[in-house]
Chain A
């Protein structure tokens, strides 16, 4: 399935819903969208991977890039993922220790709001 990207605002958070396949071909579009959001002033970004059915190392690299950029800007970055195959990818690469991972968008926003002391 082709990559789909949809953005919505929830309070001070920007939620990016990603669907389809994130791979070496489509990851540049995800990178562009994340850069647009960050350059446009978004500082608290939640990427919802709920409708992603394939994610490879290139996609993971893009997500780490966004995390670094937002941290450097004093912002926050979290992922929403509750699918076991995807969670396994995060565990195997040890990226589960790098990203805040949450089962739902609400949980991600709640954790970020308390954690950031906002």
Chain B
């Protein structure tokens, strides 16, 4: 069960708020201090992805962030976009990153996934259990 639940309208300005809350709860939960930068970045990337999808599909539904600290620090970021959950988290190779043909959106998406996959050891991207959408689930150890 979530100890802190945040839902925000899908606007870029609120992603920073989600990062701040996510890190505050992580610190409170006992996540090691040297992991907090990664927690901040990963929650930001997951929320940025969700906001981008909601805007792309013209959805006004809020993005949901759930943080739970029972034994470990688990964060779920849930979007409502009608797409297959993106499981392919492959990073783009360097020569492709600088490729002229790669659009800014594709680049940012690829880089965002590379950051999530690179910074979160325990990462799952899967369809939500009920209704339409995807959840990005990230877990960090709690070292008390």
Contact = CB atoms under 8 A, between A and B. Distances in A.
Interface of A: 21, 23-25, 54, 56-58, 60-62, 64-65, 67-68, 72, 85, 89, 92-95, 97-98
Contact of A23 (B48, B109, B111, B118): B48
15 contacts: A24-B51, A54-B19, A56-B45, A56-B112, A56-B115, A57-B108, A64-B98, A93-B91, A93-B97, A93-B114, A94-B93, A94-B94, A94-B114, A95-B111, A97-B94
Given A57-B108, A89-B115, A94-B97, 14 more contacts: A23-B15, A23-B48, A24-B52, A25-B13, A54-B41, A54-B44, A56-B115, A57-B112, A60-B111, A64-B97, A92-B118, A93-B114, A98-B97, A98-B98
Given A21-B16, A65-B104, A98 B94 contact: yes
Contact of A89 (B12, B41, B100, B104): B41
A57 B94 contact: no
